[in-house]
Amino acid sequence: MKKYQLGEFEEIVLLTVGVLYDEAYGVAIKDEIEERLKRKVSVGALQSALRRMEKKGFLDSRAGDPTEQRGGKPKRFFRITSFGKSALEYSKDVRTDLWNAIPDVALDLKKS
């Protein structure tokens, strides 16, 4: 089902939004990904992915209250939609099916 296909980064971002739940805004998402995956994330790539997934219907967002630390600008908080949940479930099922299809002998490798 092509409508549920997620790229690797999109899947990571969507999962991280779920992990953070009510605290899923740009910087928190970036920090969480970098901490958990030990992987640098550019703000531009993250913002682009968030906008793209919101446009596709995987996420929705709301503006938080303005804060002085941000010069009166509100944070944008993200949440997974039911469509986003379906996309994550589809991705998980595909990966599980593939893992389960690998014969044991294929992974019985010795380090050289």
List, for residues 12-44, the tens digit of each pLDDT value. Answer: 999 999 999 999 999 999 999 999 999 999 999
What's residue 1's pLDDT?
52
What's residue 106's pLDDT?
87
Q: In terms of Cα–Cα distance, which of 78, 73, 46, 44 is closest to 62?
A: 78
Q: Does the 2-100 domain belong in CATH 1.10.10.10?
A: yes
Is the per-residue pLDDT at 70 higher than 70? no
Q: Mean per-residue pLDDT for 61-68?
A: 83
What's residue 73's pLDDT?
82
Q: Mean per-residue pLDDT for 44-64?
A: 95
Interatomic CA distance for residues 96 and 82, integer angstroms:
21
Q: How confident is the model at residue 9 (pLDDT cuts 50, 70, 90)?
A: very high
What's residue 112's pLDDT?
61
What's residue 17's pLDDT?
98
Q: Mean per-residue pLDDT for 70-97?
A: 91
Domain ranges of the chain: 2-100
